[in-house]
Structure 1
Amino acid sequence: MLKKIVRGIFSAIGLMIGYIIGNSLLGIPNIQDIKYLSTFPGNIIFLVIISLLFGIILYIFSPVIYKSISNLVEYIERNIQKLTLIEIICGALGAVIALILMSFIAKPINGIYPIVGPVLFILLNLISAIIGADILIKKKDDITALLVNIKKPATKEKKSKNNVVKGIPKVLDTSVIIDGRIFDICETGFIEGPLVIPNFVLDELRHISDSSDSLKRNRGRRGLDILNRIQKELSIETQIWEGDFPKINEVDSKLLKLAQTLNGKVITNDYNLNKVAEFQGVPVLNINELSNAIKSVVLPGEEMQIDIVKDGKESTQGVAYLDDGTMIVVESGKKYIGETIRVIVTSVLQTAAGRMIFAKPRDN
């Protein structure tokens, strides 16, 4: 139905164009000298033929024109969807500024020739608008930083009046969101806001949650559920960072750049990201390091009561676990599997994976 309506509109436009062109042709002296066109009926027939000719041409080519316009609109929509709200605002602002400047610069060109001048003027305005929009989109980070710096004195004065101190921004990594322990840590109040969730991290989570791999899909959905719980169930401040760093491809590199931009810290449990952040001087809060730090401290010679659950690597060893997951290797403990016994700690080994405790049965 829509195609038929569009075809009718183009046919009507063709008729009008044909009438205008035919009327212009009749005003040419050489054509007026033609015998058949010098009479009124001849003029009418000529206008009808020219109008019908252009109407038929646009009727025939209307599907191609319609498809081209549809493709152009879809292309523009796809590109606009890739842009953030800040980029769209900066692009529109850049285009307006460029058009205002070009209207003064190119104004003399408008009056050069009756037809060429206005066409050249329109083309220059279009080119300047595209260039202006492109420049301000590329410089959006600098503009945002400038506006933040201008706003800082006022916010500092307001904070001093209200005695409110805003915490250091904590940028959340994808791995720590999927891990889920961040919710429990925030719930205890050991981490203050604001928690910054970058838009590119949300995109990565959405991509993972749409994966064909069921394990990845469940991990991605778990991460999104954790974010929803943090926003709805906790009083901690959360912020969605809409920006991006187009020149940086890797998400980890974007996280570090964002932390540097915001003068904040990165919360992660990724060992490699932790090392890169240390090298670049970006502060990191590692969930795994926190977990190891709060595990119970035991010293050689201490006694404890444990449940031997399985055998160890050596033929006589038994293995037990503390409530925090710390593994205890018991010498000559294999025969006590399934029993609760008291042991004496002989040594404690700290590894990159965590803490291991070695012990022996007290009866021995």
Structure 2
Amino acid sequence: MIRKVIRVCVGMLGLILGSTTYLKLMKDIKQLTFGREIYGFAAAIAVGIVIGLLFYVIEPWVVKKVKEAAKIMDKEISKYPQTDVLLGSIGLIVGFVIAYLLSGLINQIPIIGGLLSLITYIFMGYLGIRIALKSKDDLFNISKLSRLSNTIKEKGSKKEVKGISPKVLDTSVIIDGRIADICKTGFIEGKLIIPAFVLEELRHIADSSDDLKRVRGRRGLDILNIIQKELKIEVEISERDFEDISEVDSKLLKLAQTINGKVVTNDYNLNKVAQFQGVEVLNINELANAIKPVAIPGEDMVVQVVKEGKEMNQGIAYLDDGTMIVVDGGRKYMGETIKVLVTSVLQTPAGRMIFGKPKN
């Protein structure tokens, strides 16, 4: 059914083409009107019918030949790689575009302009195909180098991620609490390792009969909960224990050596021992020494004087992170919570000391 419809459409196309062609010629050649215009129109219809019938008759033969030509072309094209066909097509299109731009000038040449334009299309199309196919190897090499470069970058980035050393936290840095804020900013990369023996030491401190130690121990446990639950950083509780070593600091250094990690601490003595043993250390106090101190001279602080100082009339107070505050003239305020005016701040690798005086 579809074939018949197509055949009729081809016949109608022949009818229209024949009639319009005759009418166009009739305007230029008066003899085609046979003396009267009505005869010319009748002749145009007759010619259209003849051409339409011709198209209708030869349509099967034309379709057959077109199919045969398509099969031959498909067979020939299949002999070449798809990349060659694609590049050749692109080259042909580019060549035709260039020929179209040139033909505007070439067509202005009298007599032979049309012929030269046709030759230009053929030549530029052929040239485009040849250049495209000749550049295939170069394009392939560029693509290969690009993929290789991306692969190297991906491998390099993976190696960099794998190469980030785990960070082993000691008791002092957990109690200090600033490690949570540092992790929150993203300055600490890699996995945080919390040894089980450090947790045990924290529990002992939190259960201490000394009020100050108990507060610091519980603060350390709270900091660990914040790091583990609120921060987007991988935390691992290491169950490794070295029973032949009794001291927690020595166990910490041994663990860091075993896993090729770095110790995070603010213990000055541990820092020195670690450096002697070749263990890398991240010292929170050294980091704090490089940035603006928490307490600024002239700033007010509310503290509780907990004990006497070494010098006359001095009182000693502590911040939550264990920072010592020396209050000049604070001995008489023992056990009281007072407002202190900061007079100076001393920051050393061993820690920070704040000096102040009671504010009246």
TM-score interval (norm. to shorter) = 0.3 to 0.5
Give me the TM-score of the superposition, normalised by structure 1.
0.39
Greater radius of gyration (CA): 2
Give me the TM-score of the superposition, normalised by structure 2.
0.40
